[in-house]
Amino acid sequence: MLVSLVLPPFLVHRMAPAEYSAWVLILQLSNYVYMLDLGMQTAIGKFVAEYDAKGDREASHHLVSTSFTILTVAAAIGSAAIAVMVWSVPQLFHQMPAALVPQVRISLLAVGLSTAVTLPFGVFLSTFTGLQQYVFPTIVATVSRVGSAAVLIVLLLMHGGLVQLALVYAGFNLATVATQFFGWRRLVKGRVDFSFLFFHRRSAIQLAKYGSVMSIWTLAMFFVSGLDIVIVGHYQYKDTGFYAIANGAANFMLTVVASVFGPLVPAVSSMQAGTTPSRIGDICIRMTRYCALLLCVLGLPLVFGGYPLLSLWVGKRYAAQSAFYLAVLVLGNVVRQLVLPYILIVVATGKQHLATIAAIAEAAVNIVVSIWLVQRIGAVGVAAGTLVGAFVSFSVHLLVSMRYTQPTILVSRWRFLVQGVLRPLIVVVPSLCLYPFWRKLNMLPAPPAVLAVWIVATAAIAWWVVLTAEDRQTGGLLLRKVLYRRVERA
């Protein structure tokens, strides 16, 4: 998260807008290779958690090894797709300056192929997720991202070009691949074994059954968020960099939320056999309340203080262009992520096929509205498509998906809506009261005294209204434990 905050200012200040737009498009197109994951990383985390709980090492070995073989084939397909995209750059982005096209082609080839190589090796990090061991993956991600960002910043200060940036990025991708493999061999091989060029038919069928539905979700998410920047680049190339900044700020919020609630999948998978649908439903509502509160805490400053925050981050030029995109994108992502805990629990219980209709509906609405609006009102139309699609997704999950998943996740939809969603949204009341004080071009959205009242009022509502007595008691116990440990260490 810190890297995502530190790197963009260097990029936007050391690169021309057209060049920065090209860079974000290179990264976006390269990331399309991950679509060929086919839901396998999630499947590995889920099934490894189950097999480890049962002590079935042989099944884990078959699953992980077969996954690597399948993803190696997928990586080869991804490499071919990258080659096609490299060839098609002038047609995809006809408004791109001609002088940039050769550099973009070389850069896309380097980053794209290195990304394809990382695809099968992600299997090893997924074993850590399944075993609920998060230290090593965190260290790998931190070292890789901080290291690559540091080298990229040095290159920018030395006036490096797109191709040099791309080669550094690709080099860190390959280094990460090697680290993932050796980390698995050293730390968890004793619990989850692996063999190269191994294929187990039953494991492949199991992965296909689970991954087929996940693939639909992956494809749907591709249409929901994966095409946004490319659509802007195709129709409004000059606004691509500005839109990417807004999208990056919104993704910062999503990264925090995903990091906090991601462990729900292996946790619920490992406990599924020993609990009841009503207990899982209670967990769903409680996690939804926490998620909604976290989304509000993170999203409010971005919506009401987008311009000043962006000004401090990337300068007034980008802030003026990106602030409105950011507000719309944050609202859309908040609405979508309100059902994140439910979705994660659905995935953990293997019932994602019962909730696929929501992903398909959101994808269809998002892509149609985005393409229709971008041609009429510009890049903001793509952000509006995200917002409209998010409301569709939330509504379909509430009205359709939750009805079909009742045998596994027993939850009252009315209780989910009131206690899980509407109750935490009360924290926006002080922000709405603050809105009349907002001045777009000020460094602060309101006088400091008003801001102080706003922060205190928001925190008080979050603590005394949103959180239950049980939540407050649990939070107090955790806080006391943390403080006690610190005192002991001191």
What string of DSSP letters covers 282-321? HHHHHHHHHHHHHHHHHHHHHHHSHHHHHHHHH-HHHHHH
Chain centroid offset of residue 68 CA = 23
* pLDDT band of 240, cuts 50, 70, 90: very high
* Range scoring the smallest mean pLDDT among 18-32, 120-134, 434-448: 434-448
Look at residue 226 in the predicted model and tell me its pLDDT.
Answer: 80
CA–CA separation, 322 and 21 (whole Å):
13
| 164 or 126, greater pLDDT | 164
* pLDDT band of 142, cuts 50, 70, 90: confident
User: What is the mean predicted confidence (pLDDT) over 442-452?
Assistant: 68
User: What is the mean predicted confidence (pLDDT) over 35-51?
Assistant: 82
Residue 324 has pLDDT above 90, yes or no: yes
CA–CA separation, 9 and 27 (whole Å):
17
Element (H, E) at 6: helix 2-14
Q: Calculate the average pLDDT of the chain.
A: 87
* pLDDT band of 438, cuts 50, 70, 90: low
Global pTM?
Answer: 0.81
Look at residue 205 in the predicted model and tell me its pLDDT.
Answer: 86
CB atoms within 10 A of CB 178: 10
| 483 or 91, greater pLDDT | 91
Q: How crowded is the C-beta side of 33, counted as CA atoms within 13 Å? A: 32
* Range scoring the smallest mean pLDDT among 123-132, 308-317, 398-407, 432-441: 432-441
User: What is the mean predicted confidence (pLDDT) over 289-299?
Assistant: 94
CA–CA separation, 109 and 29 (whole Å):
10
Q: Per-residue pLDDT tens for 157-195?
A: 888 889 999 999 999 999 998 998 888 888 888 888 888
Q: Per-residue pLDDT tens for 44-77?
A: 888 888 888 888 888 888 888 898 999 999 999 9
Look at residue 473 in the predicted model and tell me its pLDDT.
Answer: 83
Residue with structure tokens 């996940």?
A: 214
Per-residue burial over 113-133, b = 16 or more CB atoms within 10 Å of its CB, e = otherwise: bbbbbbbbbbbbbbbbbbbee
- Closest among 175, 182, 206, 184 to 59, alpha carbons compared: 206
User: What is the mean predicted confidence (pLDDT) over 72-101?
Assistant: 93
Look at residue 57 in the predicted model and tell me its pLDDT.
Answer: 83
| Residue 124: partners with Cβ closer than 8 Å, 6 or more residues away | 180, 181, 183, 184, 194
- Closest among 225, 181, 270, 489 to 363, alpha carbons compared: 225
Residue 444 has pLDDT above 60, yes or no: no
Chain centroid offset of residue 484 CA = 34
Burial class (CB in 10 A: 0-12, 13-18, 19+), 246: buried
* pLDDT band of 273, cuts 50, 70, 90: low
User: What is the mean predicted confidence (pLDDT) over 202-221?
Assistant: 79
Helix (H/G/I), strand (E/B), else coil: 266 = helix
Each domain of the chain, given as residue ranges in start order, spans 1-211, 227-447
Look at residue 312 in the predicted model and tell me its pLDDT.
Answer: 87
Q: Are 270 and 49 in contact (CB under 8 A)?
A: yes
Q: Are 300 and 428 in contact (CB under 8 A)?
A: yes
Share of the chain above pLDDT 70, in %: 95
Residue 2 has pLDDT above 80, yes or no: no
Count of residues in the chain = 490
Select, from the ranges 123-137, 183-197, 336-350, 434-448, the one with the highest average predicted confidence (pLDDT).
336-350
* Range scoring the smallest mean pLDDT among 124-128, 237-241, 333-337, 437-441: 437-441
Q: Per-residue pLDDT tens for 15-26?
A: 889 999 999 999
| Residue 94: partners with Cβ closer than 8 Å, 6 or more residues away | 234
User: What is the mean predicted confidence (pLDDT) over 279-292?
Assistant: 93
Q: Are 121 and 74 in contact (CB under 8 A)?
A: no
Q: Are 250 and 302 in contact (CB under 8 A)?
A: yes
In which region does residue 378 sit, left (phi positive, over 0), alpha (psi from -120 to 50) or beta (all else)? Answer: left
CA–CA separation, 113 and 345 (whole Å):
34
- How distant, in Å, are the alpha carbons of 134, 435, 459 from that of 454? 36, 11, 8
Helix (H/G/I), strand (E/B), else coil: 196 = coil
- How distant, in Å, are the alpha carbons of 251, 380, 447 from that of 245? 10, 13, 27
